[in-house]
Amino acid sequence: MAKETEWNNHFNIGVDSIDNAHRKLFSIVRRLIYVSEDEHHGQWACAEGIKYLKSYAIRHFTDEEAYMQSIGYKGYKVHKRLHDDMRYKTLPALEKDLLESDYSQESIHHFLGICLGWLTAHIMIEDRAITGKIANRWQKDPSEENIAALEDAVAVTIQEIFRLQPEIVSEHYSAENFGNSIIDRLTYHSQKGPPLQIFLVLEESLVLHAVSSMLDMPLTKVDKMVINAAKQLSLHIVEQVRTHYHLTSRYELESNHLVTPEQFEQAFYTGHFNYSLLFNTGTGYFAFCIKPE
């Protein structure tokens, strides 16, 4: 895994207990990346190490939440929901992948990549907001009812289009890199309100599975044909979600463009997302994110 895991002082939020815990979490991930390369003992070592990582992270969440309450942090409620999302959705979903693959090296790297991406984004954005280094990004956190309604609409659409049974991984996905993906940005405009951007992130394995099923022939390479098919799938997904959720009933499509992972991350770091859902379809991950301009 090429992602840098060394501690960087830019991650410091200015609270020693929290900064020390973050440094420890990075150290655990770095160690797991190292032992995962051991062909003879890596599987067992990673299984034990991942248990420790999960235990330490959950304990850290509790300590961090206590600190936020002690200083009367106004963003506590939303921040705790982000922790709970990781506690009760993301980690169990990733652990299920590990168990079903018998801790294969691929699933271990998938687990560590998502954890590392989540940890990095969470510290740099959510945790730094605790001490006022940046503004809280989830200023308009949607209600649980609205999230559930959109989650159901997207899940039904995935079932209808891909013939797969998706499981929610995160209700507050923050652009973490979960593997080679195709990222499509659809921009809608409305005469009665601001434009709306919808980002769909499709892991390449999911796209290859879908296009292979369409053609009834195995595909192993993402070429221009597969990419164009992914763009059309993205458009159909949004249109189908609209029928279930009435998401874009007053909007018209303005543009449909692929973006790089860097551009996608920049969109997260410079704006507020109303919804950002991450699913595991069984053949690849899929994210559905909505950002008002």
At 208, list the tokens.
């290859």
Q: Which pLDDT score is estimated for 4?
A: 43
Stretch (H or E) spanning 51: helix 42-70
Nearest-5° Cα angle at 173, 182 to 207: 25
Q: Which pLDDT score is estimated for 172?
A: 87
Cα–Cα distance, 3 to 13 (Å, whole number): 21
pTM value is 0.76
Cα–Cα distance, 130 to 16 (Å, whole number): 13
Burial 25-39 (b: 16+ CB within 10 A, else e): bbebbebbbebbeee
Strands, DSSP E only, in the chain?
A: 167-170, 181-190, 193-203, 252-259, 275-280, 285-292
What are the φ/ψ torsions at residue 97 (nearest 5 degrees)? -60, -45
192: which residues sit within 8 A by CB, 6+ positions away? 250
Q: Cβ distance 288 to 277 under 8 Å?
A: yes
Q: Cβ distance 206 to 183 under 8 Å?
A: no
What are the φ/ψ torsions at residue 91 (nearest 5 degrees)? -60, -45
* Residue pointed to by tokens 């235990």: 55
At 214, list the tokens.
């369409």
Mean pLDDT for back-to-back runs of 10 residues, the chain (293 residues) = 55 92 90 78 80 93 96 91 90 89 84 83 85 65 79 90 90 85 91 85 92 82 88 88 69 90 87 88 93 80
Q: How far is CA 273 from CA 95, 139, 198, 228, 292, in A?
A: 27, 9, 10, 26, 7
Q: What is the DSSP letter of 222?
A: -
- Closest alpha carbon to 284 in 202, 225, 229: 202
Q: Half-sphere exposure of residue 243, counting CA atoms within 13 Å on the CB side?
A: 9
Neighbours of 43 (CB within 10 A): 16
Q: Which pLDDT score is estimated for 287?
A: 95
Cα–Cα distance, 12 to 18 (Å, whole number): 8
Cα–Cα distance, 72 to 211 (Å, whole number): 51
Domains and CATH numbers, the chain: 9-130 (1.20.120.50), 144-292 (3.40.1550.10)
Q: Which pLDDT score is estimated for 40?
A: 66
Cα–Cα distance, 183 to 258 (Å, whole number): 6
At 49, list the tokens.
């190490």
